Structure 1
Amino acid sequence: MGDILRQAAYQLESTSDSARADSEILLAHCLQKSRTYLYTWSEKEVDSTTEATFRWLLAERLRGVPIAHLTGQREFWTLTLKVTSDTLIPRPETELLVETALSLLPSPLAGGEAPRSSGWNGLGKGGNKCVSALDLGTGTGAIALSLAHERPDAQFTACDFSAAALAVATENAHSNAIHNVQFIHSNWFSALPPQRFDVIVSNPPYIETNDPHLTQGDVRFEPRSALTSGQDGLDDLHHIITTAPHWLVTGGWLLLEHGYNQGQVVTTLLHNAGFQQVCCLPDLGGNDRVSLGQWPSA
């Protein structure tokens, strides 16, 4: 296996900045083993059928097809998620949105554990209202499912205008045994039943329509509708910010992922919409990534 991996990594060096990791992920996928297995049994021979499958996947990767599309999955937070060409590929930067949302979700109320059934009505034992959160444009369900996995006492709503994406998110909920997320086919807030949430999160499209990066890397194979939002990339962010107050409880929080160069304009939009405690948080690379604000008390 060692020789196969070295040759594959060499081939990928011109097209991938993670050539060795890509090679290992693809071979481990073909073998249905972990990457640790590759290190432990590096001298083991690979049978001809497995090698042929690996060579085909390698050729697809050389063509630029994302690793997540070739393996059909991506690790995110603590979950393994199915990924298809109908969804955005979950990225490590988005884990900042999950981490921040978890820090802002209210503590469980007394007797407020949410029953794990699709018929949950928003009330816990004794009529206490459970903590609730909304994920707008859920895609694979990465954000909502990660939050729901950490907070089984709370109830989450996840929406997307793409029925195909919602099918993937629903499958991810089942495969990860997460039952406290309700999925709704909705273009942002348009088809949601009347309700107010403690926290609203979203990783909306925020790339400019004519951004040259759209012709590079993995984004070439992702749905354009999940990436772009008008000439300045702000159309969906502006809509969410101006509409969210009608869906937040007093003291509720809105958290948004955005581009590395959009922190100042997004925080300005939040201020102008009436949000308080507005701030922008950097990702691990030091780039502006998540902006948030609290809807004030009446």
Structure 2
Amino acid sequence: MNTLRTMSRDSKLPRLEMQMLWRHVLQVPRSWLIAHDTDPLANTAIVRFRELEARRLAGEPMAYIVGYREFMEYEFLVSPAVLIPRPETELLVETGLDYLKGKRSPRVLDLGTGSGAVAVSIALRCPGATVVATDLSSAALEVARTNARLLGAQVDFLQGGWYDALAGRKDFDLIVSNPPYIAAADSHLKEGDLRFEPVTALTDGSDGLSALRVIIEGAAGRLLAGGALFVEHGWDQSQDVRQLLQSTGFKRVASAPDLAGIDRVTGGIYN
């Protein structure tokens, strides 16, 4: 008789990943797995688990297999059309929200929204804000719109490359972005989860700074006086990003470290 207990002995997955897959297959909470680990399993459930197990053992990200990832305490749907939201990107949201404190009806722009995690999280945490989000990918925008609808967030999604999607819209209080910043020659693109994620969301196809240059240089024409720009970047790019901001006229330029102590978000105020 196949039970969760006997199946766990045969699985090559780490225990937590195995539990995540069983919760997904059976649509039950973790507590149910513990209380029913000796119950017989239906053959259809076993077949489905084995299919998902094989995908995970082949290296496919767990988020794509189960179809969601938690971010800022919200559950976001994800697909191979979008980058998987990561904990370090929560720093970008938190930094933006800190800047918005005390502002009435601020206007916020999220460039390259992907799953919508950043834009939707800001809209939910700052309900008085008007949030606009852009992305070049129609498939990504479909995921983002679904997330906004399911989570009850008001976000205006526009398709197009960076500022080109805005059709003249400007006067934003805050611009945020987590653009592709991995250099095209970086070997990490061929490792781990990155192998399965959309390459255009990971690398600019160049030195890792070209998208950041476009965003920083174009921000001046879109921000109100005293508006802020914050961008996420690579572990070794903070100095380059600070220089780009300063050379474009931004003041109070500073970087913020992630939980690992690595400068991950850099921004400034445009006067």
| Structures share fold, TM-score greater than 0.5 | yes
Q: Does 1:295 align with 2:263?
A: no
Q: Which residue of 2 aligns with 1:118?
A: none
**Structure 2 residue corresponding to 1:53, chosen from 48, 51, 54:** 48
- 1:106 and 1:198 in contact (8 A); partners too: no
Q: Does 1:228 align with 2:231?
A: no
Give me the TM-score of the superposition, normalised by structure 1: 0.86
Q: Which residue of 2 aligns with 1:278?
A: 253
Give me the TM-score of the superposition, normalised by structure 2: 0.94
Q: Which residue of 2 aligns with 1:217?
A: 192
Point out the more displaced range, 234-243 or 31-40: 31-40
- Aligned residue for 1:189, secondary structure, equals helix
- 1:78 and 1:146 in contact (8 A); partners too: no
- Aligned residue for 1:190, secondary structure, equals helix
Q: Deviations over 1:90-148 (max 9, x none)?
A: 11111111111110014253xxxxxxxxxxxxxxxxxxxx2110000000000000010
Question: How many residues matched?
Answer: 267
Q: Deviations over 1:17-65 (max 9, x none)?
A: xx32221111110010122332343333332211111111000111111
- Aligned residue for 1:86, secondary structure, equals coil
Q: Does 1:184 align with 2:158?
A: yes
Q: Which residue of 2 aligns with 1:16?
A: none
* CA distance, structure 1, for counterparts of residue 103 and residue 226 of structure 2: 16
Shift of 1:191: 2.4
Q: Does 1:245 align with 2:240?
A: no
- 1:137 and 1:204 in contact (8 A); partners too: yes
Instruction: Return the letter of the residue paired with 1:186.
Output: G
- 1:144 and 1:157 in contact (8 A); partners too: yes
Q: Which residue of 2 aligns with 1:117?
A: none
Runs of 4+ deviating beyond 6 Å: none
How many percent of aligned residue pairs carry the same amino acid?
A: 45
Q: Which residue of 2 aligns with 1:85?
A: 80
* CA distance, structure 2, for counterparts of residue 288 and residue 268 of structure 1: 14
- Aligned residue for 2:163, secondary structure, equals coil
Q: Deviations over 1:241-293 (max 9, x none)?
A: 11111111111110100111111111111111111111111111111211111
**Structure 2 residue corresponding to 1:154, chosen from 101, 113, 129:** 129
Question: Residues 1-298 of structure 1 correspond to what in structure 2 (within 5 A)?
Answer: 1-8=4-11, 11-12=12-13, 19-109=14-104, 130-178=105-153, 180-192=154-166, 193-296=168-271
* CA distance, structure 1, for counterparts of residue 155 and residue 243 of structure 2: 32
Q: Which runs of 5+ in 2 are unaligned?
A: none
Q: Which residue of 2 aligns with 1:120?
A: none
Q: Which runs of 5+ in 1 are unaligned?
A: 13-18, 110-129
Shift of 1:200: 0.4
- Aligned residue for 2:90, secondary structure, equals helix
* CA distance, structure 2, for counterparts of residue 289 and residue 38 of structure 1: 38
